[in-house]
Structure formats: C-alpha cells, structure tokens
Amino acid sequence: MGRHNAFTFPYTFFRQSAARVIPDLQSYGFTGINLALNYHASRDFLLRQGPALEYLADGFHYYTPNRDMYPSQSVQPNPKDCLTENRMLDEVIRVASRQGFEVNAWAVYMHNSAIGFQYPKLTVTNCFGNHFLSELCPSSPEIAGYISGLSNDLASRGITTLAIESLHFHGAHHGEHHERFFLEMSEVTGFLLSLCFCTYCIAHFVGDGPALKERVVQLLRVFLEDHDEWLGVELTKENLASIVGEEILGYLTSREETVARRYREVREVAAAHGVRTTFIDQAPLITNSASAPLGKSWQVGIDNMLIDKAVDIYEPLIYRVSAEEVGAVASHYRSEISGAITAILRPTYPDNDSREKLSAKVKALHDSSVHDIDFYLLDAMRPRDLEWIKGAIIS
C-alpha cells in the first residue's frame, strides 16, 4: 500500500495531544507525519481543530536546539527564534514510537530571514550588492555549519527521515510579504537579478567572477533605465550563454556543485544517526515546468544527477489539477531519477475538488510505480479531505 505521511505544523500538537492525534491519523490510513520543526514566515487559515488564523514566525525552530551539535564558527539559531522546551516534540516522538508511526523532521533550510537579517553578509547578494535577506547562501562556510548543525540536531531526536526543503538558491520573486516589483520582468531578467555574487560564490568559481558580475550589471542597465529587452525569451542555459557569454555556464555549474556538496554533508550527518534524507523538490512549481520539471532544476542550483546520488528519496510537489498531469510528472521523475520517489499531493483547493479526482490522481501515481504518497497540509484540511484521502489510499 505504500507509505503515506501528512505534512503537519506543530499547531496540531499544541492544541491536541499526540496520544489523540496520531491514532486518529492512523484511522485515515496515514503511516506518519512530516512535522515542521524549522519553518518560514506565513499566515495560515487552519481548520483541523477549529478555524484559526495563525502567523508563523520566520526561521523559527519548534524545539530547543542542542548547540553542541553545531560546529564552531557556524551560525546558530537565535534563542528568540526557538521554543524554550521540547515537551511537544518529545511527546510526539514517544507516542509515535509506541504506535509504530513515523515522525519525519520537516525543515526549511535556506529560506530564513531570521538569520538573514542577523547576518546579511551570509545571504544571497546580487550583482548590485543587494542582499536577499530571506535567502541564505549555501556557499558560505558559516551557513554550511548551520546546515550541518541543524541536520545533526534534528537527526539525533529519534526521527525516521529528514525532509529537506529549500536547500538551494531561489528566484527574485520569493520570500517576503507585500513584495513590490513595479516592473514588467522577463524570466531572464529575474534570474540575473537574483543570481548570487557574494564573496563565497565568486571564490568557488574558477573563472573571473568579478568580471562576470560586472557583465551582468551592464546587461541589466537597459532594464533598470528603460525596458526589459528579454520579454518573451525563455530562460534556458543556452539563451543565458548567448546573452551573457559562455562563462555563465561555468558559474552555474559551480553553484550546482556547492549545493550538491551541502546535500552530501547532510546525508552523511543523518546516516550517522540511522536517518534517511528526503529532498523536497519544488521544481514542479517553477514557471513553465509543465510535465518535465527536472529540466528547470538548474534555475535554483540543482543538478539532478548529483542530488539523486546525494539523497535517499526524491519527493516532488506534484501540484497538478488533473490525474493525467499528475501521471505525466510522476512518469517523468521515474524515468530521470534512479532512487526512491515519494509524491506530494494537495487534496484541497486549488488542486482538487472531489473524492473522485483525488482517487484518480492516486491511481495515476500507482500506475507510474509511485506508491509512497504524502499529503499537504494536515492543519488546513477539512474533515471531508481526510475522508477523501482515506478513500484514495485504502482501496
């Protein structure tokens, strides 16, 4: 039947005991949860335990970190961005162990403005020296230490799997409330505007990083002063090489190798605790990803050939409206990825509006030999959504 986990915020367990929640989830066919233990800012209308508008703090750790797990000279969580005790997490782990129920640590790594505002020089920094304070740069050794420490700390707590989200670069339009870009912007311009040229990214590049940075500055001048000359131009490596020059391809390879190195480090840390690693893959959400999203992964610094070897499980967000689209994306992943694959579905709006459609999507995944399916997001589900999930996976 496969494994079926629910992505879950800690609020579920702040309002109800694990002893009540976990058996209830098992009755719907769930085999575990992906519990958000490090998350970014959001405003969520939660429904599961009564309507509640919750504001999640950015970069918050929903437990008390063990600072001994962090290497010296690394960034560490600020105490104000952490819970002061571990009662919630300890109870969840204890009850889950007794019930034969998986608890996976769901952590958001590089999308963290709590750390970004504290250490702006460690964030993604574009060609103009603008800091994207919500995006930490994985090239930084201090951030590499934070990645290692966070992974080591979470993996030591009795979890089954470390679900890794946002351990990569991000685009220009990402991460902040009320973002204002009153400019018509092409995909190419957005990419160049958010491409990191921090000290560490330049140092890792074997070519002339400062010269490439200045080239990008000059290319963006027309956009800043008059218009975007690349409107309608598809963002591809070939088009970037034509616009910027061949050296940009080496720069992209450099950052892909850096991201892959971080994943290998996380896997090594997790494996020492007997914990698996899952790559929460957001490629299906990239613009124009359609049925072949892995072809877009390079835009966020992911080389799938490298990452496939560096994690235990690929877990793409297959947020598609029709079962045919879900099946096409799943078949694409099955043809490109050699390791285990878990799919993520939303049983709710805007992806789904009936029991029959959800069941058809689950069947499409099974037909593509994807049997492990997780569902997002428990806290925002109506009772009917849980019944739809039960009907789809227990049949």
Give counts: helices (H), strands (E), the chain: 14, 13
pLDDT < 70: residue spans in the chain: 174-180
Domain at 170, CATH number: 3.20.20.80
Q: For residue 175, what pLDDT is reported? A: 62
Structural domain of 41:
5-393
Pairing relationship of beta strands 52-56 and 5-8 according to DSSP bridges: unpaired
38: amino acid identity, one letter: N
Q: Give pLDDT tens digits for 286-338.
A: 999 999 999 999 999 999 999 999 999 999 999 999 999 999 999 999 999 99
Q: Round to whole Å and give the CA distance between 57 and 55.
A: 6
- Residue in 172, 73, 183 with CA at minimum distance from that of residue 125: 172
Tokens encoding 233: 């131009």
Q: Round to whole Å and give the CA distance between 304 and 306.
A: 5
Rounded to an integer, what is the distance from CA 239 to the centroid of its chain? 27
Q: For residue 174, what pLDDT is reported? A: 64
Q: For residue 119, what pLDDT is reported? A: 97
Q: Round to whole Å and give the CA distance between 151 and 268.
A: 10
Q: For residue 178, what pLDDT is reported? A: 57
**Number of domains the chain contains:** 1
Q: For residue 172, what pLDDT is reported? A: 80
Tokens encoding 373: 């399916």
Neighbours of 316 (CB within 10 A): 25
- In this prediction the pTM is 0.96
Q: Give pLDDT tens digits for 154-174.
A: 999 999 999 999 999 998 876
Instruction: Name, in order, each residue with C-beta under 8 angstroms of 168's C-beta and a sequence gap of 6 or more.
Output: 110, 138, 259, 300, 301, 302
Q: For residue 49, what pLDDT is reported? A: 77
